[in-house]
Structure 1
Amino acid sequence: MDIPKFMQGAIAPTFTVFHEDGTLDDAGQRRFLDFLLEMDAINAYFIRSGMGLMYTFSMDDTRQIARNVCSHLKGAAPVLVGCSGVWDRNYDKRPDPLRYMEQGVALGNYALELGAAGAVYTMPEALLPHDGETEQQMIERYFNTICERVAGPVYVYQPPGTLPNYEVEPETLSRLADIKNFMGGKFSTMNGYYTYELMRAIRGKRFIYIIGCETMFYTGLFLGSRACIGQGAVLNPQILNAMLERYRSGNYSGVLRAQDAINTLVQTAPNAVDFLKMYATEKGYTTPLYTRSQATNPYMEDREPITKEEYDRFKVIYETELMPYL
């Protein structure tokens, strides 16, 4: 499989829109997507993402959002769908391993049949190694099985906070990168050495390394990455795209200025999800702030709701930093 052309610049970890009772708001989701499309800067949309509260999704939720978004964005933008089996990331209550695998296979093929450009799977923290098997061997076995049974492009997502023994090692990634339909992955790390070693391991291979933390995009560009998935890919995709364009043209001081702006926005943003939903509403795309709680899970926590004061304060910073890139 060839590297898809959309795998560059900003790929949005799309925020999920909910009703007050926590169910998916299809109409609200479409309005929010229309707001994002108006930016004309997002190269692909990743749904059931970490920032979209992926660990709260059921099988039916995943199918519903995939149907809604793939249909709405058909012909407008590629869609990547989070297709891991159902698990709330409670390490004390891991799912049945066979069922988790079967759910992932079913969701991946369902999303691809709807027209998704790829199926995304988190590192399999939900699973325990077999007797005599290491976590790295289990990761390799898991993705070999997924890639064999899912009829299309597969991507890996290593989320923030992944348990250290489930973080993929360079040697493991190098072997996985040779699988025909294992196309690439998002790695959410701020560890420069680890990033370097992962990218060294796949150097020269047909594998797309996606920077998973936009404060590392400068580093990623010089190591060979060309795409980023992070909150900035939704809030300020124009700046990420400008970084890539400036890097390609040799304007390295311009790359640094863009990275400065990105870092400022990361450092000053309150609840980025609430902010952008409020901003979309202000621009005429009514997007409710309802969410789902993960508070019953001892390993997860809810985002603090944004206040009007925080919104007003950050809006000034946001528009100031974004203006030179519009």
Structure 2
Amino acid sequence: MNTKDKFFKPEGIYPAMVTPFDDNGNVNEEELRKYVSWLIDSRVSGLFPLGSCGEFIHMSFAEKVKVMEIIVDEAKGRVPVVPGTAESCAGKCIELTKAAKAIGCQSVVVAPPYYFPSSQEIMEEHYTQLAKAVPDFPIVLYNIPLFAQPISYDVVKRLSRMDNIVGMKDSSGSMVDLMHFMDKIKIAGEDLNILIGREEMFLAGLMAGAKGTMSATVGIVPEIMSGIYEAWKQRDHDLAQQLQFSVLNLIRAMFALPFPIGFKAALDVRGFNMGRPKQPLSPADQYNYSMVKARIHKILDQRLGDKLKAVV
């Protein structure tokens, strides 16, 4: 038996969850519970909170723990909870990962250390220390060049040999990088579950051998994103392609606002009260917000019709 087989490996459709806040900037527990239940009812495979779209970087350790506790409690074992536990140094990352394990999460997703520039050697040591600190807990690597130093192909190859490193979320948006990551892992004789982070290339990633997606658009239109996945599994590639193209206009609209505000606006359109972002908007952004939100509403109405509102 492969030593990784004893560990949970995420697969399928995981929403990169947006975090709802109240008017005082605190986590809105009631709205978060509604969001969790709706996502599960929408047949997602699991939940990925505290990623970039969840504004983890603006949250305290206590707030992150609270979010994990609420989500695990609300999920009640119906789907796995796999939070992000990225931190700027290994010590803090280990502490948050141990908290996730104690709370009852099934795995964690860990982006490289951020803020200070990191060499590939520092990055590899960061992940190595984490994996050794929680040897009985599965870890998913997270390549996100938009916000952190990219992980090199060879570092992924070497890290893939560690027993409890079981997967990788790749948000490079590059099919070139995806193929090289997969090839290097294969050369190492390992089998990591690769999850697509850029929803625009979800179907292309599946065709190349990825095992699913962890992306923010799953948390906005789980009906469509799960439709891509189910159509692909049933080898209805025409339908899968049609659904894949159907979300591109929505994604462009959501990215017309500073990230992740467009995704919060889309969830407001779906019937949730996501509250203000942690980072305050400029007057110009506030003016643009209403126009972009109206555009998002029109797109969602076209795509979903009667299913537009998530919460009655």
Query: Under TM normalisation by the shorter chain, which class is it?
Result: 0.7 to 0.9
Q: 1:261 and 1:147, CA in 2 relative to 1: closer, same or farther beyond 3 A?
A: same
Letter in 2 for 1:109: K
1:232-262 deviation digits (Å, cap 9, x = unpaired): 2112223333333333333222222122123
Q: Structure 1 length as normaliser, TM-score? A: 0.80
Paired residues for 1:150-299 under 5 Å: 150=134, 151-162=136-147, 166-203=149-186, 205-269=190-254, 271-281=262-272, 287-293=273-279
Q: 1:263 and 1:312, CA in 2 relative to 1: closer, same or farther beyond 3 A?
A: closer
1:156-192 deviation digits (Å, cap 9, x = unpaired): 22235145xx211111111111111111121112222
Q: Secondary structure at the match of 2:108?
A: strand
Q: Which has the higher helix share?
A: 2
Letter in 1 for 2:125: R
Question: Are the counterparts in 1 of residues 14 and 218 from structure 2 also a CA contact under 8 Å?
Answer: yes
Question: Are the counterparts in 1 of residues 46 and 79 from structure 2 also a CA contact under 8 Å?
Answer: yes
Q: Secondary structure at the match of 1:146?
A: helix
Unaligned runs of 5+ in 2: 257-261
Name the residue aligned to 1:35: 38
The whole-number CA distance in structure 1 between the counterparts of 2:102 and 2:41 is: 27
Question: Are the counterparts in 2 of residues 211 and 229 from structure 1 also a CA contact under 8 Å?
Answer: yes
Q: Secondary structure at the match of 1:220?
A: helix
1:102-141 deviation digits (Å, cap 9, x = unpaired): 2211111111111101122111234555xxxxx1111111
Letter in 2 for 1:36: L
Q: Structure 2 length as normaliser, TM-score? A: 0.84
The whole-number CA distance in structure 2 between the counterparts of 1:61 and 1:200 is: 38
Name the residue aligned to 2:259: none
Q: 1:160 and 1:313, CA in 2 relative to 1: closer, same or farther beyond 3 A?
A: farther
Question: Are the counterparts in 2 of residues 67 and 114 from structure 1 also a CA contact under 8 Å?
Answer: yes
Unaligned runs of 5+ in 1: 88-99, 130-134, 282-286
Question: Are the counterparts in 2 of residues 199 and 223 from structure 1 also a CA contact under 8 Å?
Answer: no
Q: 1:237 and 1:320, CA in 2 relative to 1: closer, same or farther beyond 3 A?
A: same
Letter in 1 for 2:74: H
The whole-number CA distance in structure 1 between the counterparts of 2:286 and 2:199 is: 22
CA positional deviation for 1:60: 1.0
The whole-number CA distance in structure 1 between the counterparts of 2:181 and 2:238 is: 26
Q: Secondary structure at the match of 1:81?
A: coil
Q: Secondary structure at the match of 1:15?
A: coil
Q: 1:302 and 1:114, CA in 2 relative to 1: closer, same or farther beyond 3 A?
A: farther
Measured on the aligned residues, the alpha-carbon RMSD in Å equals: 2.8
The whole-number CA distance in structure 2 between the counterparts of 1:117 and 1:306 is: 38
